[in-house]
Each structure stands twice: as structure tokens, then as C-alpha cells.
Copies of this chain bind each other. A is one copy, B any other.
Amino acid sequence: MGIDRLDGRIIVLLAREPRIGVLEMSRRLGVARGTVQARLDRLQSNGVIRGFGPQVDPAALGYPVTAFATLQIRQGQGADVRAYLATVPEVLELLTTTGGGDMLCRLVARSNADLQRVIDRVVGFDGIVRASTAIVMENPVPLRVIPLVEQASADSEGTEPTRG
């Protein structure tokens, strides 16, 4: 597991210019097209690259308000809560965290007022004991992976076990 420098360069290049083709990549990276193709296939079957789905901005969709809700779950109701929250479109992400049946829930809403509706819908569910919400104001570092990719690919030098 891990990626080498070429893998890293492929990912970074792809992140910078997503519409680029395999052929153009091979030109920029100075390797054969087949190599890039093989690397890409490997990265995808490895699960390193999950896919190339469109990155949609909820704000542009009319949901400019983001919030995080910390949920306290009633004993044994975890599965029910998960299943319920998965049906709420405004729930963009749900994570279970350490600390006694807690969940962290990423929400969006059309406005601060609308957030109330969303929260009611979320915490109105039976298995949820208590909820505390924090509204997101700024997003100084939007979700990113590139720096991590660069570090991971740099780290792997010399560590890479001959890729066999």
C-alpha cells in the first residue's frame, strides 16, 4: 500500500486539470501512454482513486448554510439513527466518533431559518437523545487531499518494495 512519485504526479496533475486525457498526461509527465494508463487502472483498483464524480457545491445549489451537529444516541439505537439520517438529503455526511454513542453530522440548509427545519427533522428522530449544533462561518481550508498525496508519494521513496 502506498504510492510512488509517478502516482503522486498523476493524481496532482489530474486534480489540477481534470479534463486532461491520458495521452496529454503522458506527454506532460514524460512517460509512455501505456504507463499512465496502467498506473491509473492500478490506482483505481487499489481504491486510492475512488472515482471522478462531479464536485457539487451545495451553496450554488441553494444551500449556503453548513452546520455540524453532535448527536447523542440512545443505547442500541445507533443502527436506526444511521438508517434514518441516511434518508435526509440535507445530511451530507455522518460519522460515529469516540465518546459514548456520539455521532457527528454534517448538515446544509437554505438559510439560517431553514436550518431550524433541518435540525428539527434530524433530532426529531426517536433514538436521538440530545444534539448540539455549530454553524459553519468560514471555510479557510476546503476539503483537500493533494498535500497528503504529495507527502505520501514523497515518503514512499526508498520504502517502495519494488512494486511486486
Contact = CB atoms under 8 A, between A and B. Distances in A.
A14 B54 contact: yes
Interface residues of A, number: 65
A32 to B, nearest CB: 21
A52 B54 contact: yes
Interface in A1-51: 1-3, 11, 14-15, 18-19, 46-51
Given A48-B60, A89-B148, A147-B89, A134 B94 contact: no
Contacts of A102: 134
Nearest to A81: B140
A113 interface: no
Interface string A55-82: 1111111110010100000000000001
Given A58-B148, A68-B97, A85-B140, 7 more contacts: A2-B61, A15-B54, A18-B54, A47-B57, A48-B57, A95-B137, A98-B134
17 contacts: A47-B57, A48-B61, A49-B54, A49-B55, A50-B54, A52-B53, A53-B55, A61-B152, A82-B141, A86-B141, A92-B141, A92-B148, A95-B138, A97-B135, A99-B134, A104-B136, A106-B143
Interface of A: 1-3, 11, 14-15, 18-19, 46-63, 66, 68, 82, 85-86, 88-99, 102, 104, 106, 108, 134-145, 147-152
